[in-house]
Structure 1
Amino acid sequence: MELKELLDYIKEKHNIEEHDRWDSFLTMSRLYHPLTGKMMALLIKEWNSNTGRWAEHCDLKYDASLFDRMKEYIVAPLRMHGSSWVGISFNDKTDRDHIFELFDKAVLQGNPSKDTALSDNRKSNTVYTDTPLPFAKGSDFLKKKEYIPEKITEMRKLYRYDDCSGQLSAKNFYRQAKFMEDYEDDYHGQVCDISGYFTTYHDLSDKQLRAYFTWRTEVRNGVYNKTFTSFIYLYIYELLCGIGSSSPVDSLNKLKEFEEKFIEGGFLEDSTQIKRNLHRWYLEYSLVKGFSVDEVKKYIEKDVLDRDHALEILKKSGNYNDMEIFEAISFFAGKRFLNSVSLKKEREKSIIIYAYVWKFILKAGNIDGKSIFTHCFGRLQNRSIYPLLNAVYRDDKVISDIDYIVNGVRSYHCKSGRWKEKSYIRACFNKKKLVSIVHEIDRLIRDEFKLGYYLKPNMEDTRIADLIAVAFNEAVKEIKHNERKRINVDFSVLKKIRNDAEITKTNLLVDEDIDEKDDIQNTIEKHYIEYDDGNKSKTENSDFNKISEKSDDINLNILKYIVAGKDYKQLIRLNNMFTSIITDNINEAFFEEIGDNILECEGDEIYLVEDYREDILNIIGEIYE
């Protein structure tokens, strides 16, 4: 396991990134808890001149069990001290799933109780100075004491300090917010912002409270003005708790309206973090409020659902067609894959081959106890989740047990108030393995159809390479078999074609040529396929099938004109022939040598497939030697 895999995982799940990184012979960086801002891990990368590789290590703040410490990759911390720290050595023996689980537990251990005040700033820049207080009789200090509305005074009295349940902040906020639900104010004095993540009424001064309720009154009336980040979160927390809304659906609708008109309205310099939190809360709120599964899906990010859909296709490929399987492979293989020469020159065959090979190797059995799908995308993870943990949220209602089956690779489950998510984690994907499979199929296609720009084998696992080779050969056989199948023709349609040809001939020929009617009819019939009993077919134009035996064949002369860029249409008119029939006859004659159609017909135009020009000239040259 590599350290980068861990960083990808914690960024996706916990929104944790590296901080305070510097480079030297010993490279270190820190990870901070997403809620408390306290350091929870020290990452260390040291260059080993003996092995010529980077040695990767992590000191993790985690009260590990004896079972955890028995793992050979769980070692003593390098830089940190104390029993609450353990060391992790990253190497080939490090169990990825176990390390992910350790970090999940470490984050959970570091979570604060709801009554713990948190600050966004780990270091305070506030400078305190002595301020003289004028207490002289009749001073302006006493005369100018600002008016505080009685409603705010009464609200402050509702705060309780005797709650030991761990939900002190959320309970007090909900109680006070419910009391102030319909309160309005009109205060425009100057106040400063408060720095904090779980901002509640209790954290604000009287002036700040009045300023907040004034801004909230304006928002409820459709008037939007710039304000502090703490006020924005406070308003969002109110709606999550049902303050100012008639139902959970109304709460979500008002949150979305607020996002559209305020957050997207240009009132914030940087709205990235607030939008990220909002979209996360949309989903989690819809879960805890028991919305329908279709409604829950609306709040899952589109790229997540697209990834799930591609995973579901590749996992159960037998239920999908070739194009769907190919598009799922393309989703993970990337843009470079779509620009491959095999897709540009042999797109239809390539799509069939990619789908056939994937289905084949998926059914072929396990390698090292894992299917090919598991080798590429890991196993379905069953992870604990904590909806609305990073918000001030309170709901006295007991959450009923519920299961949300979003799709075949993602679901959410609540049992006894505890939530689980089952899904495939992107950090566990082995993209290198999938790319190597795609590369090997691409290489075989280029070799088989002589497309040029040949690739070198790079499959590290020869067992998978052998499976791909077997599947590829079977796919090519099936393609060739289907290409040689004869098409059953409706004789009524054939008769109509002949009648239409007769009318066209009559309209085009001058009077003295009408007597040649029978010869033209024979020419038309000569180039059509006749059928025995409506099933078996045979081509009567045997002279053309043996090109080398009849050098003056009109079809061959027309082909030579096409290759040379001369006026082939004149030959067609002089011989009273049809472009579609000529194209089919020539393609059939050269199919055995070339293995593909060499001409394409659109209306009365015939085009040469330029990729086969050299092969055609070689064949024509052999005929006339």
Structure 2
Amino acid sequence: MFERMYELEATQVDFNDLSKYVYQKYGLKFQPAIPGSKELYVLMSPLDSSYFAMMSRIKKDDAGIDGPGHIATLDLRCGDFSDMIRDLPGFTSAFRLKSKDWVGVWLDRGNDQAIKNALDYAFKLAMNGDKLNIADTQYIYVPGEKTDEKYQEQKIKPRREVIRRNKQKQVPDQIQKMLESYDYSILPAKGRAKNFYNQAKMMADYSEEYDQPAAFKRYYPTYHDMMVPQLRTYFTWRKKIREGKFEKTSTSYAYVYIYELLNNIGVKNSDDGFEKLNKFKEYYAQKYDVEIVGNLDRWLKDYVLYYHLDREKVNQVFENEIATDKDYHVLLHPNDYSISELVEVFKRLSPYLSTCLSYKKLGDNFDQVFAEIWNRILVLKRKNNISFFSKYVAHRNLLVENLFTGAVFYPQKNELQSYIIDPERKYLYKADKWYVSVLHPVKRQRSELNTFIHEVDRLMRIKFRLGRPLKPRKLEKVFLQAIETGIDTYQQKVEDAKRPKIEINFASLGQIRADASVTRDSLLTDEEKQLEAEEEKKETQKIKESNPPVEKEPQTKETYGLSKDELFFLMSLLTKKSWQDYVKKRHLMASILADNINDKLFDEIGDAVIEFNDQDQPEIIADYLPDLEEMFLSDEGE
């Protein structure tokens, strides 16, 4: 059966022999995973029909091996024992199932007896309901029956092509010593990084001149995962990198080189390692493999922390974080900065501010008013002692920070130290763990701050009589009162500044007034006194006539300047109703309607509210859906 399925080179374990072994020993046969499939065969437990072995073939290219054709693989469910055998020669992570309970086997590399032992173990585990006790169970199984003796092993004379390949696969002495140094006594979960580090030190100065490069594909790659041609390819490529010749290669080789640098292999000191990592990022990753850049940026931060590099390097790798933290620090300590710096921070966090009417009309005065408002907002506390800043801007967290996550890194004996990046970001090292104290932006930060600025703009329009009134948005009453108080305080300061400063002796003021009143009354005739009374009455009447009572205008549904077609289009998107027929009959374009709506609602929202998705269909931006529903669908908006 398997002869027709696979055309493979000579292997240490033949598919026919393996299937024969399974049938003779367990009375089981490999079955297609899917009826008619010729790619994947499985062994099922006689107890519950669950899979405990999978035999398949994988394209060489998918496995990182040059050349056409396929390789033979076997996946076995060995439970907790998988970790103990995963790094044995010929064994690896499972090919088909990404589970720690499964282990993979390269049938063209593994030892015949080791593979059968592992298969025996998987069978026993399946037959015992996953309750196999390794300590009380014989691992090496000795079959009780004899196999068919008419088939005898015979040595096959190698072909010329095989001889040529064997010559190409000759192992240099240094590589051979490195391969033999692998310590299988350490479980892979702990020893993989240690083995890599020890082997990397052995090969730190090694170089190759190999002219038959082999591809390599593997997650979290190490030397142990490479075949000899791949090792020789890597050390040839690494030599060129060290000479300043950056050539494209398999991504897995690039990661092995990065792991070496993170472990300070092949560098003079940590400063040299930092420079080499940045150089590799600039001349290789950004040019040939941009997906590596994200990991490199993260590991560079870990590198400066772990090796405690100087402030200049910290500022370099944490540049974006420091800028964000600076904005938050300005908001929390506005009196330490200028008013213009405070306003600039809000302009970065809330696009509504730069476009609102009060900002445009009041100019520099807006900054002064806003500073009064923010100083009052900042000291207020909501229920449960939650401030405006922690609810709507950012909240502080203390999190466990795992350095070099996703990299093969072996920690060395190093005097690890805490590091203060800036006043708002601190890395702490305590009890063998790293922690980071940092301000994290709240969810929907921009939308929430747009609402705050909208209310500032709305109340400023009323107080300063600017433009048309805006419809209120939801904001806690305590914060609305702080906005009004801030505006009133500014206006009072302006009025006070206009008044001339006159010094009055209040001790004699009363006597002066009394004397003046007596003198004045004594000089007026009765006729003049009567005329004065009539004049005062007329003046009072004029004041009443010039300030008639304000009649309330009847409330109408607010359309915010939208046309009938634009309003229908927006309401259809909000209520998820069809709009296509309406637009088609009126010869309208959805893109133009969306642009007009975005423009007309910008003063209210401070951002575009409609965007087109990957299918080129219009939809409401999720962040602004609650605002638009309140404006157009709530009872208040009707």
C-alpha distance 472-120 of structure 1, shift in aligned 2 (>3 A): farther
Contact residue 207 and residue 235 of structure 2 kept, 8 A: yes
User: Is 1:467 matched up with 2:482?
Assistant: yes
Q: Deviations over 1:183-214 (max 9, x none)?
A: 11111214232232x10000000000001111
Name the structure 2 match of 1:435: 450
Paired residue secondary structure (2:418):
strand
C-alpha distance 120-349 of structure 1, shift in aligned 2 (>3 A): farther
User: Is 1:137 matched up with 2:160?
Assistant: no
User: Is 1:421 matched up with 2:443?
Assistant: no
Name the structure 2 match of 1:65: none
Distance 1:484 1:118 in 2: 83
Paired residue secondary structure (2:451):
helix
Name the structure 2 match of 1:309: 326
Say which of 325, 328, 341 aligns to 2:357: 341
User: Is 1:407 matched up with 2:422?
Assistant: yes
The offset of 1:160, in angstroms, is 0.3
The offset of 1:410, in angstroms, is 1.2
Higher mean Cα deviation, 316-325 or 236-245? 316-325
Distance 1:301 1:120 in 2: 41
User: Is 1:252 matched up with 2:274?
Assistant: yes
The offset of 1:167, in angstroms, is 2.5
The offset of 1:407, in angstroms, is 2.1
Count of aligned positions:
364
C-alpha distance 406-190 of structure 1, shift in aligned 2 (>3 A): closer
Distance 1:329 1:323 in 2: 10
The offset of 1:156, in angstroms, is 0.3
Name the structure 1 match of 2:377: 361
For the pair shown, the structure with the greater C-alpha radius of gyration is 2
Name the structure 2 match of 1:153: 176
Name the structure 1 match of 2:387: 371
Q: Deviations over 1:548-583 (max 9, x none)?
A: xxxxxxxxxxxxxxxxxxxxxxxxxxxxxxxxxxxx
1:136 maps to a residue whose letter is I
Distance 2:283 2:164 in 1: 42
Contact residue 216 and residue 226 of structure 2 kept, 8 A: no
C-alpha distance 254-332 of structure 1, shift in aligned 2 (>3 A): same
The offset of 1:326, in angstroms, is 1.0
Name the structure 1 match of 2:339: 322
Name the structure 2 match of 1:541: none
Distance 1:314 1:446 in 2: 24
Name the structure 1 match of 2:599: none
Distance 2:500 2:200 in 1: 76
The offset of 1:118, in angstroms, is 6.4
Name the structure 1 match of 2:262: 240
C-alpha distance 183-408 of structure 1, shift in aligned 2 (>3 A): same
RMSD: 3.2
The offset of 1:386, in angstroms, is 0.4
Say which of 377, 383, 406 aligns to 1:390: 406
Segments of 5+ residues of structure 1 without an aligned counterpart are 1-111, 487-625
The offset of 1:459, in angstroms, is 3.0
C-alpha distance 252-346 of structure 1, shift in aligned 2 (>3 A): same
Distance 2:270 2:347 in 1: 39
With structure 1 as the length reference, what TM-score do the two structures score? 0.54
C-alpha distance 482-410 of structure 1, shift in aligned 2 (>3 A): farther
C-alpha distance 454-122 of structure 1, shift in aligned 2 (>3 A): farther
Q: Deviations over 1:302-352 (max 9, x none)?
A: 2x2222111111112232221111112222112x32122222221211111
Distance 1:454 1:247 in 2: 65
Contact residue 293 and residue 404 of structure 1 kept, 8 A: no
Contact residue 322 and residue 351 of structure 1 kept, 8 A: yes
Contact residue 184 and residue 213 of structure 1 kept, 8 A: yes
Paired residue secondary structure (2:176):
helix
Contact residue 342 and residue 446 of structure 1 kept, 8 A: yes
Distance 1:130 1:161 in 2: 21
Distance 2:372 2:453 in 1: 13
Segments of 5+ residues of structure 2 without an aligned counterpart are 1-82, 110-152, 502-638
Contact residue 375 and residue 430 of structure 1 kept, 8 A: no
1:65-76 correspondence to structure 2 within 5 Å: none
Distance 2:425 2:225 in 1: 39
C-alpha distance 143-218 of structure 1, shift in aligned 2 (>3 A): closer
Paired residue secondary structure (1:424):
strand
Contact residue 385 and residue 421 of structure 1 kept, 8 A: yes
Contact residue 357 and residue 475 of structure 1 kept, 8 A: no
Name the structure 1 match of 2:310: 292
Contact residue 418 and residue 427 of structure 2 kept, 8 A: yes
Say which of 444, 459, 465 aligns to 1:450: 465
Distance 1:301 1:423 in 2: 15
1:306 maps to a residue whose letter is A
The offset of 1:439, in angstroms, is 1.1
With structure 2 as the length reference, what TM-score do the two structures score? 0.53
The offset of 1:484, in angstroms, is 6.1
1:575-594 correspondence to structure 2 within 5 Å: none
C-alpha distance 289-129 of structure 1, shift in aligned 2 (>3 A): closer
Higher mean Cα deviation, 210-219 or 133-142? 133-142
Contact residue 322 and residue 421 of structure 2 kept, 8 A: no
The offset of 1:482, in angstroms, is 4.1
C-alpha distance 138-204 of structure 1, shift in aligned 2 (>3 A): closer
C-alpha distance 202-138 of structure 1, shift in aligned 2 (>3 A): closer
Q: Deviations over 1:512-540 (max 9, x none)?
A: xxxxxxxxxxxxxxxxxxxxxxxxxxxxx
Contact residue 281 and residue 388 of structure 1 kept, 8 A: yes
C-alpha distance 135-344 of structure 1, shift in aligned 2 (>3 A): farther
Paired residue secondary structure (2:212):
coil
Higher mean Cα deviation, 215-224 or 438-447? 438-447
2:461 maps to a residue whose letter is R
Say which of 206, 224, 227 aligns to 2:249: 227
C-alpha distance 175-444 of structure 1, shift in aligned 2 (>3 A): same
Distance 1:251 1:118 in 2: 31
C-alpha distance 384-459 of structure 1, shift in aligned 2 (>3 A): same
Percent identical: 28
1:168 maps to a residue whose letter is G
Q: Deviations over 1:492-528 (max 9, x none)?
A: xxxxxxxxxxxxxxxxxxxxxxxxxxxxxxxxxxxxx
Name the structure 1 match of 2:588: none
1:328 maps to a residue whose letter is V
C-alpha distance 134-483 of structure 1, shift in aligned 2 (>3 A): farther
Contact residue 398 and residue 437 of structure 2 kept, 8 A: yes
